[in-house]
Structure 1
Amino acid sequence: MPGPTLRLAVAHALVNAGAEREALRLLESLRRDFPKDVQVRLGLARALLGLERPGDAEAVLREALVLNPGDPEALKVLAVLALRRGEHGRAQAYVEEVLEGDPLDGDARLLQAELEAADVPPAPVLQVQALRSEFTAALLAALHRARVACRRQGKDLLVRLASGEVGRVDVASLYAAYHDGTQDLSTYVEGLVARLQGLSGLSGEAHSLETRVRPVLRPAGFAAQAAGALHRDGPAGLEVFYVLEDAEFVHYLPEASLRPAGLTAEGVDARAWRNLEADPAPVRPVVLDEGQVVLAESFSGLWAVAGGDGYDAARLLTAEQRRRLVLHAGEVPLRIHLGRREFALVCRESDASACESLSRLGSAPDGIAGLFRLADGGLERA
């Protein structure tokens, strides 16, 4: 078999002519034929960048570095991608590695000058954060001091509300918010206790419920973790539960609370979906960076329905959210990943590379495992 040089030159000519898709097919065949050729990887990354697929291009560049550690061309492109995302520290590290090998590299020196001229905010002062076990112990102690009845149930915390009802608190979500913030532990848990003391349930206020209730999707068997919560069977073997909207706490709606409020399960379900229909989430292009979901600057073939409030999986079943997805992905079947509560990941089912990326992405403990398919027939298991 002749070497890749001639076909690689043709591929670069196609990219120069704006025919990146044709070049990509040629370069994919070259990668199969020459799996250890670094120049093929670099050409493939160039075509992917021309198709505005920076996440896939970055993965190919990392493959090039495995084949040829310290390859300056791969490092410089990675530096540019990191700079575009605002990751100045990572971009600086790539540029320094290139200049260490060749202090006169013109492209690297230009990148170095751009980094030095960038207005980079000072690094935040690091704060020592408590471990999750310490956080949980501090929260329980503060609740006991405030005479708030509570007990642990698995990873959740059951709290007696002021109305006499029992609310369920997701400790993992509370800890994540604390860990990402700047408050010290004692100040943060005292604020949580004050919020929990002020929470109330339905208390016969049907109007309050109807304006606050939202549907959420949970995996089969979740009723064992939310005993007494109103729920029904949902699509794809999932279950639909109902929560009262709150910025920090997951308050599942108790089935026993409907009668005192003069409400029915069917009426609550209808109102919950109407509320969610009126509150669609933005659809953002994203890439996967070493298992992390990162916002992309342009088309990437992968999108996040990113309301960040825990309702995004359910939003996929609303007409307005589907309309917004069509604007980005077209009227085609979609592959869905629901492994994170803070967003839902979406790609075209025909995009084999993006589907493969989603299949390799794991699920958080509070997410829904597995992949799904969203098409005209609704949501189903992939």
Structure 2
Amino acid sequence: MSPDLERLRRKVEAGERLSAAELDALRGAAQGSAGPTLWLTVAHALINAEANREALPLLERLRKDFPKDLQVRLGRARALLGLERYGDAEEALGEALALSPGDPEALKVLAVLAMRRGENARAQAHVAQVLERDPFDTEARLLKEELETGALSAPPPGEEQVLRPEFNAALAAALRRAGVAFRLQGRDVLVKQAGGEVARVDVASLFAAYGGNRQELAAYVDGLAARLGGLGTGGPEAPEAWLARLRPVLRPVGFEAQAAGALFRLGPAGLEVFYVLEDAEFVRYLPAARLGAVGLTAEAVDRAAWRNLEAHPAEVRPAVLDRGEVRLAETFSGLWLLAEGDGYDGARLLTAEQRRRLRLHAGDGPLRVSLGRREYALVCRESDAAECEALARLGHSPDGIAGLFRLTEEGLLPVPSPR
């Protein structure tokens, strides 16, 4: 796939609208393709542009030509949802589940539809299936919280439901109107403020928090764009306030290109240590340019961040790897999980209190560590060959840290890749 075509695919995946020229270029590339992938991208581009009626016949054709393709079924369901044909959409999602039982994307959409109708028991069953396979699925956890708090109720008659791609496109347009520098990156949007700091925002969380209808969407995303563009660190007049909220995070080498202007230092095992301000909604990196204005040094920031994290260790829980997925275990398993859900678990491994807690479970010997997912850290005894091999097979997500590490009393060291 050419770089230009890959760029268009990523825009569509992020829910952005394509220009007429971009859509024509995508159609032209799809004309010469054999499989459904590019035509499916065309269909999603049409849906992003609210051209659901044009997208649906294309998806119907793909459904006939590729009857076993899961993504075609999911795309068709999305178009039907956009046309408010909810019953037909549920039927399409059922077809997707017949092809791939337990598919999390289909189950989450079915859960939302059930919640909109007030069928919370049915929605809970769908969400439970997703979390059974992946306890760390962010969207499923948000749905679970909404179900437990009763935060999401059925919309009044006549209101139009807002879907995730439409929300993404509206947010991107609002950020452009507000003059906010941003970049969509997978499930996140990176927002750069005037002071140089970069905020990484989980769009899924923002979408889940939106409870309005289509008529209210424009005003909501405009307010959100203004808020994102105005994010700061608390200002030079109150450095103590944000010093108390500082936390260290571990990132792979070269991450400074993504968090431009953020303060960082070289860390252990070839990693880099960045500093974030604790925030319930946003990942906010501390800009290096702010230090001089408040009379602080990088060393003082580093000490404060690690001191703060030392006071908040994670619970150490037994876990198992089941077909490449992490699940909690009820008893000793030889694998332990740190998963506070705040993104600091990798850095916690370097704190004294966290190491003490790990020794209570795993003993005094060296540990093998996987930081392949930001949502958690996995460790096992280095002497346990089977668990070490399982960690090696686990791999890493796009925003995780590749490779395995060795944790000893001396600190964190890289494990050489097998030749």
SS in structure 1 opposite 2:373?
coil
Question: Following TM superposition, by how much is the alpha carbon of 1:338 offset from its aligned partner in structure 2, in angstroms?
Answer: 0.1
Alpha-carbon distance in structure 2 between the residues aligned to 1:237 and 1:272? 20
Aligned to 2:136: none
Normalised by the length of structure 1, the TM-score is 0.61
Q: Does 1:295 align with 2:328?
A: yes
Give yes or no for contact 2:373–2:396 (8 Å, CA) kept in 1: yes
- Percent identical residues: 58
Question: Following TM superposition, by how much is the alpha carbon of 1:135 offset from its aligned partner in structure 2, in angstroms?
Answer: 4.7
Question: Following TM superposition, by how much is the alpha carbon of 1:270 offset from its aligned partner in structure 2, in angstroms?
Answer: 0.5
Deviation track 1:129-151 (CA, whole Å, cap 9, x = no partner) reads 956x6553222123345x25233
Aligned to 2:292: 259
Alpha-carbon distance in structure 2 between the residues aligned to 1:288 and 1:277? 28
In structure 2, the CA distance between the partners of 1:275 and 1:375, relative to structure 1 (3 Å rule), is: same
Give yes or no for contact 2:335–2:380 (8 Å, CA) kept in 1: yes
Amino acid at match of 1:277: E
Alpha-carbon distance in structure 1 between the residues aligned to 2:254 and 2:263? 13
Aligned to 2:53: none
Aligned to 1:141: 173
Alpha-carbon distance in structure 2 between the residues aligned to 1:288 and 1:379? 23
Aligned to 1:21: none
Deviation track 1:144-169 (CA, whole Å, cap 9, x = no partner) reads 45x252332765645355xx424423
Bigger Cα displacement from structure 2, 149-158 vs 349-358: 149-158
Of 269, 283, 289, 1:250 maps to 283
Alpha-carbon distance in structure 2 between the residues aligned to 1:366 and 1:294? 20
Cα-Cα RMSD: 3.0
Give yes or no for contact 2:198–2:262 (8 Å, CA) kept in 1: no
Give yes or no for contact 1:206–1:262 (8 Å, CA) kept in 2: no
Question: Following TM superposition, by how much is the alpha carbon of 1:365 offset from its aligned partner in structure 2, in angstroms?
Answer: 0.7
Alignment gaps of 5+ in structure 1: 1-92, 94-119
Larger radius of gyration: 1
Alpha-carbon distance in structure 2 between the residues aligned to 1:174 and 1:339? 21
Deviation track 1:35-83 (CA, whole Å, cap 9, x = no partner) reads xxxxxxxxxxxxxxxxxxxxxxxxxxxxxxxxxxxxxxxxxxxxxxxxx
Aligned to 1:168: 198
Aligned to 1:225: 258
Alpha-carbon distance in structure 1 between the residues aligned to 2:392 and 2:362? 19
SS in structure 2 opposite 1:124?
helix
Alignment gaps of 5+ in structure 2: 1-100, 102-119, 127-142, 144-160
Give yes or no for contact 2:182–2:192 (8 Å, CA) kept in 1: no
Give yes or no for contact 2:319–2:336 (8 Å, CA) kept in 1: yes
SS in structure 1 opposite 2:289?
helix
Alpha-carbon distance in structure 1 between the residues aligned to 2:206 and 2:198? 18
Alpha-carbon distance in structure 1 between the residues aligned to 2:170 and 2:125? 24
Alpha-carbon distance in structure 2 between the residues aligned to 1:264 and 1:149? 29
Of 182, 195, 200, 2:232 maps to 200
Aligned to 1:370: 403
Alpha-carbon distance in structure 2 between the residues aligned to 1:264 and 1:135? 41
Aligned to 1:329: 362
Amino acid at match of 1:322: R
Amino acid at match of 1:375: T
1:20-99 equivalences under 5 Å are none
Alpha-carbon distance in structure 2 between the residues aligned to 1:365 and 1:135? 23
Of 181, 186, 202, 1:150 maps to 181
1:305-316 equivalences under 5 Å are 305-316=338-349
